[in-house]
């Protein structure tokens, strides 16, 4: 947007807040940073469906090993992103790192995939889980009306969007509060499970590594890791908001280490607690493992577990809506998305247009309710680009050995994580070619968009004029302007 248009907007909406410059403030200290990571990682997965790991690993012992290895692998990836986050000071996470190490096309494709299908699908899945666990206790033992579940899901999404549009501080405080609730919910499962185990209730762990050779094949193992890694997904959330973290060279690595150790230990202990109270077959038959567990171990408070699960989902939803719009914000700032989405509200100092863009996409998916296919698409594409980002870190280290890196990960960690990610992605192509092929096709659909609309700008002049007019009107309506202070 040109200077004259910026002045016009300033005249129309006033100059409030311009004395100190419009920009995203550094307001995230260590506790909110830890809360955003834990709150984004611990969503609905660990409470609802750990059976995906058991189903594809074949036995209790191997499933626990998969949970632990997924935690270690996610920690390796988070440490790689800690180096990237302290080396490149921009927000934007995956997009920024691909842009800085591999160039604009991979970065644009990551941005394209995130907003076309990855984030709307993930947010819709989490919001529907929130709606289901709010509504279902009111109708038990009958099934809840699907329309009411969708309505409550939409209300949950609307609440999160409103919070993130209103204030960065309010979103941070909300995340801290919901994270403490999540930790309480995990402790509510771990403590009685470990107590029962200590009292000698170990029969479900006998012959834990006995393999059902008829149902287990090595091709299923990547799907077990996918299920586990999906439950650990979100460890990269803090990298979306690097420019808003106070003392990022210290707080980003420290928050990542504290968060991932906490989550890995809790996840393994939660699964141990599940298997203490349920056999593997009972767990596979359960549609909501945490509720089944509570009905046996926490009979007095079992009715409160769905509420805790729903609040956990709300925390994951809030973390996603806080972090991911910053990727869009940075992409627009770099010229890979319309400039409107790199603007900040004059008074609220929030990236209002970037947050609002996700809202209608998620609403459409929630209303349709057909998102599970896209979740499978999302897993492949997400891990492929994460592998590319850490591969880019290796290339950048080789090309620029003297580049300042305040936090440096051992080379072996980067290599192991990158190789394992590419192996999982490659094996998933063999295990589930339809979904992974679809993910590739949707991602590559961004290539012609990049060359036609971004790199060469083959857009008719009349279209450009109409688009610029609409953008200006939206800018005036939303009271947003371009960032005025450099924050990286």
List CB contacts of 360: < 8 A, sequence separation 6 or more: none
Closest CA to 175 of 312, 19, 361: 312
Distance of CA 469 to the CA centre of its chain: 34
pLDDT tens for 63-81 read: 899 899 999 999 999 999 9
Burial of 342 (0-12, 13-18, 19+ CB in 10 A): buried
Quote the percentage of the chain above a pLDDT of 90.
Answer: 39
Separation of alpha carbons 291 and 271, rounded Å: 14
pLDDT of res. 398 = 94
- Higher per-residue pLDDT: 424 or 11: 424
Task: Give, to the nearest 10 degrees, the angle between helix 30-41 and helix 168-198.
Answer: 60
Region 330-356 average pLDDT: 91
Q: Which residue has the higher pLDDT, 149 or 207?
A: 149
Lowest mean pLDDT among 129-138, 242-251, 330-339: 129-138
> What pLDDT does residue 160 have?
95
Query: Which residue ranges make up each domain of the chain?
Result: 24-451
pLDDT in the model for residue 404: 92
Average pLDDT, the chain: 85
Kindly indicate the confidence band of residue 377, based on its pLDDT and cuts at 50, 70 and 90. low
Q: What is the dihedral of CA 332, 24, 166, 252, to 10 degrees?
A: 100
d(C-alpha 271, C-alpha 218), whole Å: 22
Is the confidence at residue 100, as pLDDT, over 90?
Answer: yes
Tokens representing 379 are 């897993």
289, pLDDT greater than 90: no
For the ranges 243-257, 272-286, 407-421, 429-443, the lowest mean pLDDT is seen at 429-443
- At residue 230 the predicted structure's pLDDT band, cuts being 50, 70 and 90, is confident
pLDDT at 373: 61
The whole-number average pLDDT for the span 428-435 is 75
In CATH terms, is domain 24-451 a member of 1.20.1250.20? no
Q: What is the pLDDT of residue 378?
A: 75
Considering only residues 145 and 158, tell me which one the structure prediction assigns the higher pLDDT: 158
Residue 17 has pLDDT above 50, yes or no: no
Residue 329's pLDDT band, with cuts at 50, 70 and 90, is very high
Backbone φ and ψ for 279, nearest 5 degrees, come out as -80, 170
Question: What pLDDT does 216 receive?
Answer: 55
What is the structure's pLDDT at 371?
Answer: 58
CB 136 within 8 A of CB 144: yes
| 415 compared with 125, residue with greater pLDDT | 415
**Residues 86-111: what's their mean pLDDT?**
93
Asked whether 278 and 296 are in contact (CB, 8 A), the reply is: yes
3-state secondary structure 416-440: HHHHHHHHHHHHHHHHCHHHHHHHH
pLDDT exceeds cutoff 80 at 21: no
**Per-residue burial over 296-316, b = 16 or more CB atoms within 10 Å of its CB, e = otherwise:** ebbeeebeebbebbbbbbbbb
The 10s digit of each residue's pLDDT in 180-228 is 998 998 898 899 888 888 888 888 777 766 665 555 566 677 777 877 8
- Identify the burial level of 200 via C-beta atoms within 10 angstroms of its C-beta, where 0-12 means exposed, 13-18 middle and 19 or more buried: exposed
pTM: 0.87
- Burial track 114-132 (b if 16+ CB lie within 10 A, e otherwise): bbbbbbbbbbbbbbbbbbb
Instruction: Supply 40's token pair.
Output: 């984004």
Quickly tell me which residue has 């990542």 as its tokens.
Answer: 256
Q: Please name which of 266, 267, 270, 257 lies closest in space to residue 75, comparing C-alpha atoms.
A: 257
Give the pLDDT confidence score for residue 429 in this predicted structure.
76
Q: Please give the pLDDT value at position 458.
A: 73
Segment 41-63 mean pLDDT: 78
Q: pLDDT band at 49, cuts 50/70/90?
A: low
- The contacts of residue 4 (CB under 8 Å, 6+ apart) are none
The residue-averaged pLDDT of 386-408 equals 94
Distance CA 255, CA 240 (A): 14
- Residue 153: CB partners within 8 Å, gap ≥ 6? 124, 127, 128, 130, 131, 132, 366
Cα–Cα dist 76/410, whole Å: 10
Q: How many CB atoms lie within 10 A of CB 223?
A: 21
In terms of Cα–Cα distance, which of 193, 192, 157 is closest to 64?
A: 193
Confidence (pLDDT) at 229: 83
Of 366-375, 384-393, 435-444, which range is least confident?
366-375
Average pLDDT value for residue range 36-42: 89
Distance between CA 479 and CA 345 in Å, rounded? 6
Q: What span, in angstroms and rounded, lies between the C-alpha atoms of 466 and 462? A: 6
Task: Please tell me the number of Cα atoms within 13 Å of 294 on its side-chain side.
Answer: 20
Kindly give, in sequence order, each residue whose CB lies less than 8 Å from that of residue 103, ignoring residues fewer than 6 positions away: none
């Amino acid at each position: 947007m040109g200077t004259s248009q910026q002045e016009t907007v300033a005249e129309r909406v006033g100059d409030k807040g311009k004395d100190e410059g419009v920009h995203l403030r550094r307001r995230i200290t260590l506790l909110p940073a830890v809360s955003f990571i834990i709150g984004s990682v611990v969503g609905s997965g660990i409470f609802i469906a750990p059976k995906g790991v058991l189903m594809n690993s074949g036995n209790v012992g191997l499933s626990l090993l998969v949970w632990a290895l997924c935690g270690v692998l996610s920690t390796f990836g988070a440490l790689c992103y800690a180096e990237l986050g302290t080396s490149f000071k921009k927000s934007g996470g995956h997009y920024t790192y691909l842009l800085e190490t591999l160039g604009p096309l991979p970065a644009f494709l990551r941005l394209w995939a995130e907003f076309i299908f990855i984030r709307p699908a993930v947010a819709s899945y989490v919001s529907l889980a929130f709606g289901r666990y709010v509504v279902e206790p009111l109708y038990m033992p009958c099934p809840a009306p699907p329309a009411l579940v969708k309505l409550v899901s939409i209300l949950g999404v609307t609440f999160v969007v409103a919070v993130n549009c209103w204030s960065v501080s309010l979103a941070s405080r909300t995340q801290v509060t919901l994270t403490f609730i999540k930790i309480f919910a995990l402790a509510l499962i771990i403590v009685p499970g470990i107590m029962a185990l200590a009292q000698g209730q170990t029969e479900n762990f006998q012959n834990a590594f006995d393999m059902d050779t008829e149902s287990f094949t090595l091709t299923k193992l990547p799907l077990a890791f996918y299920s586990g890694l999906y439950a650990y997904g979100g460890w990269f959330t803090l990298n979306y908001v690097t420019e808003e973290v106070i003392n990022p060279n210290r707080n980003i690595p420290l928050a990542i280490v504290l968060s991932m150790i906490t989550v890995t230990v809790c996840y393994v202990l939660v699964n141990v607690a599940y298997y203490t109270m349920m056999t593997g077959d009972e767990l596979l038959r359960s549609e909501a493992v945490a509720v089944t567990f509570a009905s046996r171990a926490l009979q007095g408070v079992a009715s409160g577990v769905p509420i805790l699960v729903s609040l956990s989902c709300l925390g994951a939803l809030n973390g996603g809506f806080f972090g991911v719009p910053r990727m869009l914000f940075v992409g627009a700032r770099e010229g890979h998305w319309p400039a409107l989405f790199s603007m900040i509200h004059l008074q609220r100092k929030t990236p209002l247009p970037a947050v609002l863009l996700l809202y209608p996409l998620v609403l459409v998916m929630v209303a349709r309710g057909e998102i599970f296919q896209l979740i499978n698409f999302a897993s492949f594409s997400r891990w492929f680009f994460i592998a590319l980002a850490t591969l880019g870190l290796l290339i950048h280290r080789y090309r620029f050995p003297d580049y300042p890196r305040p936090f440096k990960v051992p080379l072996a960690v980067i290599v192991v994580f990158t190789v394992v990610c590419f192996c999982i992605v490659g094996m998933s192509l063999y295990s589930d070619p339809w979904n992974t092929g679809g993910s590739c096709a949707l991602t590559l659909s961004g290539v012609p968009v990049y060359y036609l609309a971004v790199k060469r700008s083959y857009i008719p002049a009349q279209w450009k004029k109409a688009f610029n007019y609409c953008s200006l009107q939206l800018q005036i309506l939303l009271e947003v302007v371009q960032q005025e202070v450099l924050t990286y």
